[in-house]
Amino acid sequence: MLIGIDLGTSNCAVSIWQDGQSLLVPNVYGKNLTPSVVGIDDDGHMLVGAPAHARLFTHPELTLASFKRFMGTDHSFRLGNQHFRAEELSALLLRSLKADVEQHCGCKCDRAIITVPAYFNDVQRNAVRAAGELAGLHVERLLNEPTAASLAYGLANQQEHKFLVFDLGGGTFDVSIIDMFEGVIEVRASSGDVFLGGDDFTRSLASWMLNQYPRLDKENTALFGQLLTLSEKAKCQLTTEESTTLQYQWQGETLSWNLTTDILLQCCESTLERMKKPVMQALRDARFSADEMDHIVLVGGATRMPLVRQAVARLFGRFPRGELQPDEAIAIGAGIQAGLVLQDQALDDIVLTDVMPFTLGIATSRRKGEGYEDGHFLPLIERNSFVPVSRVETIMTVFDQQKHLDICVYQGESRLVSDNVLLGMLRVDVPPLPAGEASADVRFTYTLDGILEVECKINRTGLSEKLVIEKAPGSLTPEQITESLRKLDAIKQHPREQLVNRQLVAEANAYYEQSLGEQRQYIADHLYHFERILDTQDARQIAAARKEIEELIAYLRREWE
């Protein structure tokens, strides 16, 4: 069977072509979206999707998310005592999606169409193919995400059209300008912001919540993690409601917040403001005006927020298209492409080339209190820039009598260089002067052949040093694939039928932690009973007990939300 997969940074979704339409396939937990999160639990078993996502803030050292940003790089992620590449983590996700479809449809599926961002280059596209292969899926085709969205909206059938796809996901923002002509669909320009997404709204809201109680410890990461979980929930509620109330028990105290859409808007104004620039950039690159766009298509979970929709409407002076569930549209498009492939009439889309797929920059220090904090990433060439490109940035010494400047070159999209990939280093002598008085111009030049030239020129002395980086693309060799397969196959996983039960226990546990007194005892009793029945391994008893615990959770959800 052939399936269509949206392998997202925050969430994945799968569609199949059935009875002439593209249908989403729910996962083992009955949800259309599977969080793109992988982790290990306390007894060393691998967790994929929802159960891993639930531990993202509580067990950050045992949980990995947003690894799609590293596809096609040699970045290594540590999980417990093992190391993984982004391809391998993606393969674990794909394996889980594959198993979900096979269980749901009762047949084997071994072929896939996977969507990728329009700006992904060859290395990144090959990495996605490798991930598919590691998951036991032959990747029939890769499809550009904005093209998939256009297919879902039926726009690809029209004769001549230009439209803009506005994709605001969890942590990334992509704007694509699409041009349709004579049955060919072309991504004319792509722009975006890799540090912008729905998660920024969640973080702003969590900070606001923290600030409402001045005596709370602002540096407590465990507390902030809990607030993030709460504010994510509240943010989604404010999509359909004007206001909501939240409560949380912290160190014997009940914290509560009344949240309204006005408060959310207040918290998020600057984030909304940041959406403008990439839109303008994409239009400029494509040499189109906003008025020339026949449609504006909304994609990505964060475009559910009314305030995002309003901001888009204001930006274009008209209402965008958003009839489909925005976080499902790309998977639906992938399912349509699967249908077209099966009928041998697949749509061809033209890939954007000659854009820089990653952000390149250097490590810098940032002022923190009296001193400086190292390890911050200063982007020089942003992802999506047209190649060849050359950019310069001036940097300064931070200490008195500093003897040299160390230029550490990184590739990646994270704010901290420790999460990016180190490409090389360059050391240049500076004249010893008071801090801030010796400066240098750092120039990055990236050529069409993928060669990065870094030049650092000291302004006082005119002295300059050069470093040339020829990045050998981080593709997996056949030997590495075999090795990875062995590694992935050896990973301990919970039997699938136990997954749902474990998830229910985790969910009930979360309510236990939030509750107090009688309600707490009530949940504890249910959990104790359920866990005892699970120990019996008697399928019929387990099924009955599962129903009870599901009812309890449904009741608690109503109570708390």
Q: Which residues bind ligand ADP (CB under 6 A)?
A: 8-11, 169-170, 172, 197-199, 202, 232, 235-236, 239, 300-302, 304-305, 327
Minimum distance from CB of 170 to ligand ADP (Å)? 4
CB closer to Mg ion out of 39 and 169: 169
Residue whose Cβ sits closest to Mg ion:
8
Taking CB under 5 A as the criterion, the residue among 2, 4, 7, 8 binding Mg ion is 8
Nearer residue to Mg ion within complex by CB, 8 or 192: 8
Q: Per CB under 5 A, which of residues 165..184 are in contact with Mg ion?
A: 169
* Integer CA distances (angstroms), 455 to 356, 371, 458, 501, in order: 19, 28, 10, 57
Closer to Mg ion by CB, 169 or 198: give it: 169
CA separation for the pair 250, 229 (Å, rounded): 14
Whose Cβ is closer to ligand ADP: residue 202's or residue 411's? 202
Distance in Å, CB of 149 to ligand ADP, minimum: 11
CB of 169 to ligand ADP, least distance (A): 2
Answer yes or no whether residue 333 interacts with Mg ion by CB under 5 A: no
Residue 549 · residue 531 · CB < 8 Å = no
**Burial call 436-466: b when 16+ CB within 10 Å, e when fewer:** eebbbebbbbbeeebebebbbbbeeeeeebe
d(CA 489, CA 395) in angstroms, rounded, equals: 48
| Rounded Cα–Cα distance for residues 262 and 18 (Å) | 43
Residue 88 · residue 75 · CB < 8 Å = no
Distance between CA 217 and CA 219 in Å, rounded? 6
Decide: residue 329, CB within 10 A, 0-12 exposed, 13-18 middle, 19+ buried: buried
CB of 52 to ligand ADP, least distance (A): 14
Considering the complex, state which of residue 96 and residue 364 has its C-beta at the smaller distance from ligand ADP.
96
Instruction: Extract the runs of DSSP E, i.e. beta strands, from 145-183.
Output: 161-168, 173-181
Residue 235 binds which entry of ligand ADP, Mg ion, none, CB below 5-8 Å type-dependent: ligand ADP
Interacting residues of 522 by C-beta distance below 8 A, sequence separation 6+: none
Contact positions with Mg ion (CB under 5 A) in 506-545: none
Task: Please tell me the distance from the alpha carbon of residue 282 to that of residue 179, in angstroms, as a whole number.
Answer: 13
Non-local (6+) Cβ contacts of 209 within 8 A are 227, 230, 231, 246, 255, 257
Q: State how far the Cα of 221 lies from the Cα of 224, in Å rounded to an integer.
A: 5
Least distance (Å) from Mg ion to the CB of residue 448? 29
Q: Which are the contacts of 324, defined by CB distance < 8 A and separation ≥ 6?
A: 152, 153, 332
Shortest distance, position 20 Cβ to ligand ADP, whole Å: 26
Contact between 326 and Mg ion per CB under 5 A = no
Nearer to Mg ion, 116 or 209 (CB): 116
Q: Which range binds Mg ion by CB under 5 A, 8-16, 209-217, 457-465, 547-555?
A: 8-16
Task: Give the three-class secondary structure for 357.
Answer: coil
Of 26 and 432, CB closest to ligand ADP = 26
In whole angstroms, the minimum distance from the beta carbon of 220 to ligand ADP comes to: 23
Rounded to the nearest whole angstrom, what is the least distance from the CB of residue 115 to Mg ion in the complex?
8
Nearest distance from residue 358's CB to ligand ADP, in Å?
17
Interaction partner, residue 337 (Mg ion, ligand ADP, none; CB < 5-8 Å by kind): none
| The entry of Mg ion, ligand ADP, none that residue 412 binds, CB within 5 to 8 Å by partner kind | none
With CA atoms as reference, report the closest residue to 328 among 169, 95, 105: 169
Nearer to ligand ADP, 129 or 203 (CB): 203
Give the binding site for Mg ion (CB under 5 A). 8, 169
